[in-house]
């Protein structure tokens, strides 16, 4: 009985850590993955490096996007480095 009583605080600490740290981080990661998967041509994005530009090409097979940061200046960016989407383009209507 005494052995189980000594495990109860450890279990409570783990549960608190799970609900305060692990679970919100997993939710944030899923949201980021959904945002990156939904990138389309014409979206205005901010990269983790601070570059702001418009997506000109999405390369699914190599997991890259091409971002225009100034007129006629395009850079290749790894999709996962996109921090946020500022302006989303509307999907084409079929």
Question: Domains in the chain, please, with CATH?
Answer: 2-87 (2.30.30.30)
The whole-number pLDDT of residue 6 equals: 85
CA 79 to CA 84: how far, in whole Å?
Answer: 11
- Write out the E strands in the chain: 44-47, 52-59, 64-70, 73-78, 82-87
pLDDT tens string 54-74: 999 999 888 999 999 999 999
Say whether pTM exceeds 0.85. Answer: no
């Amino acid at each position: 009985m005494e052995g189980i009583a000594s495990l109860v605080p450890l279990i409570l600490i783990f549960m608190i850590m799970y609900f305060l740290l692990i679970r919100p981080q997993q939710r944030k990661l899923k949201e980021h993955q959904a945002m990156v998967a939904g990138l389309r041509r014409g979206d205005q994005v901010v990269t983790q490096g601070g570059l702001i530009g418009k997506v000109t090409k999405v390369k699914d097979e190599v997991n890259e996007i091409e971002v225009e940061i100034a007129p006629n200046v395009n850079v290749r960016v790894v999709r996962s480095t996109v921090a946020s989407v500022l302006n989303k383009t509307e999907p084409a209507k079929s």
